[in-house]
Amino acid sequence: MRLPIYIIVLSLLFISCEKVIDLNLGTNNPTLVIEGNITNQPGPYFVKLTKTVSFAEASVYPVVNNATVIITDNAGQKDTLAYTANGIYKTNALQGISGRTYSLTVIAEGKTYNAKSTIPQNVVLDSLKYNPIQFAGTIIHTVIPIFVDPIVTGNSYHFVIKINNVLDKTYLVDNDNVTNGQVYVRPLFSNDIEIKPGDNVQVEMRCIDANSYTYYYTLSQAQTDGPGGGTTPTNPPNGISGGALGLFSAYTTQTKSIIIP
Amino acid sequence: MPRFLSLLLAVLVFISSADAQEKYTISGIIKDARTGEFFQGASLTIAGKANIGVISNEYGFYSLLLPKGNYTFKVSYVGYSEAIQAISLDSNITFNWELVDKNQLEEVIISSKRKDDNLRKPVMGTEILNMNEIAKIPVIFGEKDIIKTLQLLPGIKSNGEGGNGFSVRGGATDQNLILLDEAPVYNASHLLGFFSTFNSDAIKDATIIKGNSPAQYGGRLSSVLDVKMKEGNNKGYNVTGGLGLISSRLSIEGPVQKDKSSFLISGRRTYADVFLKASPKFSDSKLFFYDLNAKANYRINDKNKIYFSGYFGRDVLGLGNTFNTNWGNSTGTLRWNSIWNSRLFSNTSVIYSNYDYNITIKDNETNFNINSNIKDWNLKQDFSYYANPKHSIRFGFNAIHHTITPTRFSGTISNFNSKKGRKGLETAVYISDNYKASDKLSIDYGLRFSAYTILGGDTYNIYNNGVKTGTIVLADGETGKTYYNAEPRITTNYLINDVSSLKAGYSRNTQNLHLMSNSTGGNPTDQWLGNSYNTKPEIADQVSLGYSRNFSNNNYEFNTEVYYKDMQNQIDYKDGADIQTVTDIEGELLYGKGRAYGWELLLKKKTGRLTGWVGYTLSKTERKINGINNNDWYNARQDRIHDLSFVGIYEFTKHWILSATFIYQTGNAVTFPTGKFNLNGVTVYQYASRNANRLPAYHRLDFGATYEKKKPGRLFQSSWNFGLYNVYGRENAYTITFRDNPDDPTKTEALQTSLFRWVPGITYNFKF
């Protein structure tokens, strides 16, 4: 979570121009994508199985509807998910509990994929604070999630924001490497949707495990563009054995909203 | 060490006692008659004896041992009239040469030191640029710049617009040893790479060596860029300066005591922020850099001279109180030249060098500071021993104490401040011999023996494939592991005939400091790391083969070289590495190897109204690092297949000089998505091989024009320099990013960002 300072500087200094170009990126290797979420809130929880498509194709993803999807936890619960529709599989009775580790097994098209994730202890989101920042003659309207990071190290957070009910696509993740045990004070900077007075900003705070943090942090690195083009992008490490893309993430969740004055 | 010294002594005695004929030495200093500046690389030859000669060293000193007799000596240096003197050598004599500036003859010269120097010297992959040559070549914003000019030579590639630094023969940015008066400069760029830290008014010359460096240089894999500051005129006062659109310069030089001591002070500052402030939107922003070069020297007596030179430069960037960042280098060099006897020249240097950056982020109630720094103390002792006309020996030692403080956070919201500075000691001894084996064959061979010792004061973790397996605590004063490396170097030159020669070389270089960057272009916040228990010295072995041919009475010079370079212990971040906040960055590193190979061609026209060169490089550079790209070879980010440059300077009339440069390069190696998927409502891209894609080819044409009306006899001289960057407004890709089509969410598209189309520049230069 850092200011895209170089882009700001460059745009201050020089006239840059943007245009949409045609690139021949070839065809991809269609790969299974697992989107699995378990939270500390009452179920059911969902696992979605799709496949990647080539960059040039329409963003319509083939679904995988004949897979076996099983979630177990380290307390002996086991749930074989039922297929619903659109590639989505649903848990039956499983309940997510903080501190437990959940294991996902997907058997699809003759291959087996495994992933694990732990629901961390919940950190209470106290409130949201409006935080205007004077910046180059304008005001950037930001929101700070107020909470106290626990004394133990190793907490990671993922903030999912919606502005007037529209999902912001910025990856906002942070951990307590630098600010362990303190009141959180860093504003959430969006580089997708500009926040304006009167907007309803909804912040969902998720306490995530280290694997999910690395996944989203890698995606966030690819979103910021330094001189020459930011970090070399890559498929983020996701801890899924068998070579599937996507993420199986267990987390706690809380949501609060604020109206920008 | 004693064994090394006794061996050295034996070699010296052997070489100097080769034959017993009665011999005497002529030695002295070669310098500019007007300013007293000495010349590096001026050549002294003897009429009628084409194969005997000597080149002056970095301090203008030369020495030649000859049989008793009468000789006609000739001394020449680029841009200066040749001096000729008949001398009867019947005792050891000291003779200082003063050369007269040829500029009064209004000639434009692009050439090597001696017209056919390229054929005779056992050096490879080496170019010397002096400031007169650089001044006429158009560059962005009309600010003449050594590094921008170097990038027009084969084998040297810019990291791109907005990129930071340059790449030599497939090496990384941090693999260039950049020296300013012997002091290492850790970040040679200003303003995110648009300017170099070298203020051309304060610079005498710059030498770039592409890997086959002599044994006195060490510590980096790819190249040496050795930049020398001017000494300051010791005969009279001079003021030079320039006013440009984006920056201005002013230098003052002169004697303290005539012929005995002199000084030079030179400053430069950009004022982009002055324009920014004119707009109310940016009234509270800061954006500038400045450089200050200062130098003084004092001649104690005929045999001893001391020099002090200092550099201080800083970039400042701020937006109100919210966000402030600054970074910069400072260096200081104290040198003592001593002529021990007519054949033994000594230079002792004590050097200080510092690079740091600071970022401050202030909010309504909190503030937050990020900083990092690298500080060196460096002692160098170098001897040149002119044994006889066949052997010139250089030997010496070097010890550098490094203190490297990694990125640290502090401020009201942080309690994380436990990262300590790490210390290391880098030492080396070296010896080399420039041996003229015959009229046709000359060989420069040498050995550098280097060591790096981890010094105490911090805790070192040991990792195996990213998993911590052990810890070593080194208390203050303790020493840890020492890495040793022997670095042999050899370059041979065989003169086929009067117009052509063949060269071959091998060299090993090692590197103990490593710049860690996870962005493709480099940021001022990238951090340096020393060797540790995980990170080992990088090693490069380079073999190269070259051929030179001169045409039409040395007016045209053609040089070509092929090289192959093998690199060990290369370092990169693992996928998803967090480099800013992680407690121990070493847990985020992966290690592997690299290879680079290429073919370089350079054709120069050195005299006449039209001068310039055409350079072309065909090359490849790859890395193989376990944990990246499925452990397969991949293109390094600086890999470019074709690189073509054209530089032309045309003396249009007596007052107007026109110039043009054109470059064409394969686009940088980048990673584009091959596919995509949706995760929790957001499009995520799928990648295949690393750096398997290319940005579109980069090409650009620049024009420059210099108007100068010499006023004979007048003290005040001035000139105008006009430039137009990117004449045909090519939209070169700076980045290409990918996004959902804003109008149709079922589609994704590629978005290209370009920085500059036409950038004009005007600079007014004056001197008096």
List pLDDT tens digits, range B69-82. 888 898 888 778 88
Question: Under DSSP, is residue B554 helix (H, G, I), strand (E, B) or coil?
Answer: coil
What's the pLDDT at A228? 42
Q: Which residues of A touch B730 (CB under 8 A)?
A: none
Whether residue B162 has pLDDT greater than 90: no
High-pLDDT (> 90) share of chain B, %? 32
Under the banding of pLDDT at 50, 70 and 90, the label for residue B359 is confident
Distances (CA, A) of B329 to A22, B200, B219, B423, B708: 42, 17, 19, 19, 35
Whether residue B109 has pLDDT greater than 50: no
Q: Residue B678: which H helix or E strand, with range?
A: strand B673-679
Average pLDDT over residues B733-746: 87
B745 CB contacts (<8 Å, ≥6 apart)? Answer: A59
CB A102 within 8 A of CB A114: no
Q: Residue B148: which H helix or E strand, with range?
A: helix B146-150
Under the banding of pLDDT at 50, 70 and 90, the label for residue B724 is confident
What would the two tokens of residue B216 be?
């006195």
What's the pLDDT at B481? 92
Q: Which of B322, B679, B693 faces A135 most closely, judged by CB atoms? A: B322
Nearest to B54 by CA among B73, B82, B72, B79: B73
Average pLDDT over residues B575-591: 80
Q: How far apart are CA A46 and CA B104, in angstroms?
A: 84
**Residue B293 contacts A where some CB pair is shorter than 8 Å:** no
B17 CB contacts (<8 Å, ≥6 apart)? Answer: none
Phi, psi dihedrals of residue B281, rounded to the nearest 5°: -60, -35
Q: Counting runs of H as helices and runs of E as strands, what totals does chain B give?
A: 5, 50
CB B581 within 8 A of CB B562: no
Under the banding of pLDDT at 50, 70 and 90, the label for residue B83 is confident
Question: Which residues of chain B from 266 to 285 reach within 8 Å of chain A, CB to CB?
Answer: 272, 276, 279-285
**Best residue in A130, A231, A238, A251 for a mutation probing chain B (most B CBs within 10 Å):** A231
Q: Residue B180: which H helix or E strand, with range?
A: strand B176-180
What's the pLDDT at A253? 96
DSSP one-letter string for B559-587: EEEEEEEEEEEEEEEPTT---SS-S-GGG
DSSP code of B141? G
pLDDT digits (tens, 9 = 90+) for B201-240: 888 888 899 988 899 999 999 999 999 888 888 888 889 8
Q: How far apart are CA B227 and CA B685, in angstroms?
A: 45
Q: How far apart are CA A27 and CA B686, in angstroms?
A: 11
Q: How far apart are CA B187 and CA B256, in angstroms?
A: 33
Cα of B1 to nearest chain A Cα, Å: 46
> Helix, strand, coil shares of chain A as percentages rounded to 5?
10, 45, 50
Under the banding of pLDDT at 50, 70 and 90, the label for residue B11 is low
Interface ipTM = 0.92
What would the two tokens of residue B571 be?
């370092």
Cα of A113 to nearest chain B Cα, Å: 17
B553 CB contacts (<8 Å, ≥6 apart)? Answer: none
Tokens 């891209």 found at: B685
The answer to whether the Cα torsion of B252, B255, B256, B261 is positive or negative is positive
What's the pLDDT at B416? 52
Q: How far apart are CA B627 and CA B228, in angstroms?
A: 42
> Helix, strand, coil shares of chain B as percentages rounded to 5?
10, 60, 30
Q: How far apart are CA B556 and CA B576, in angstroms?
A: 52
DSSP code of B680? T
Tokens 């245009």 found at: A19
User: What is the CA angle B322-B325-B326, rounded to 5?
Assistant: 150
Instruction: Give the chain A residue whose CA is nearest to the CA of B670.
Output: A232
Cα of A246 to nearest chain B Cα, Å: 7
**Residue B320 contacts A where some CB pair is shorter than 8 Å:** yes
Q: Which of B521, B575, B676 faces A234 most closely, judged by CB atoms? A: B575
DSSP code of B588? G
Nearest to B621 by CA among B595, B643, B644: B595
Q: Residue B5: which H helix or E strand, with range?
A: helix B2-16
CB contact under 8 A, B523 and A225: no
Average pLDDT over residues B41-51: 81
| Strand segments (E) across B389-537 | 391-411, 422-436, 441-455, 458-464, 467-474, 479-497, 500-511, 513-516, 527-530
R_g of chain B computed on alpha carbons = 27
Ranges under pLDDT 70 in chain A: 1-16, 135-137, 224-230
Question: Which residues of chain B from 412 to 451 reach within 8 Å of chain A, CB to CB?
Answer: 413-416
The answer to whether the Cα torsion of A204, A207, A212, A213 is positive or negative is positive
CB contact under 8 A, B414 and A182: yes
Tokens 């329409």 found at: A58
Mean pLDDT lowest among A78-92, B10-24, B390-404: B10-24
What would the two tokens of residue A163 be?
């502005």
What's the pLDDT at B6? 57
What's the pLDDT at B364? 65
* CB-count burial class (<10 Å; 0-12, 13-18, 19+) for B51: middle
Q: Residue B278: which H helix or E strand, with range?
A: helix B272-278
Q: Which residues of A touch B746 (CB under 8 A)?
A: 58-60
Tokens 């070298």 found at: B198
**Residue B369 contacts A where some CB pair is shorter than 8 Å:** no
pLDDT digits (tens, 9 = 90+) for B692-708: 999 899 999 989 888 88
pLDDT digits (tens, 9 = 90+) for B482-520: 999 999 999 999 989 888 999 999 999 999 999 887 665
Q: Are strands B176-180 and B183-184 parallel, antiparallel or unpaired?
A: antiparallel
Phi, psi dihedrals of residue A85, rounded to the nearest 5°: -160, 170
Nearest to B370 by CA among B323, B423, B426, B429: B323
What would the two tokens of residue B541 be?
């072995």
What's the pLDDT at B135? 72
Q: Is the peptide bond before A44 cis (omega within 30 degrees of 0)?
A: yes
Q: How far apart are CA B585 and CA B528, in angstroms?
A: 11
DSSP one-letter string for A90-107: E-SS----TT-EEEEEEE
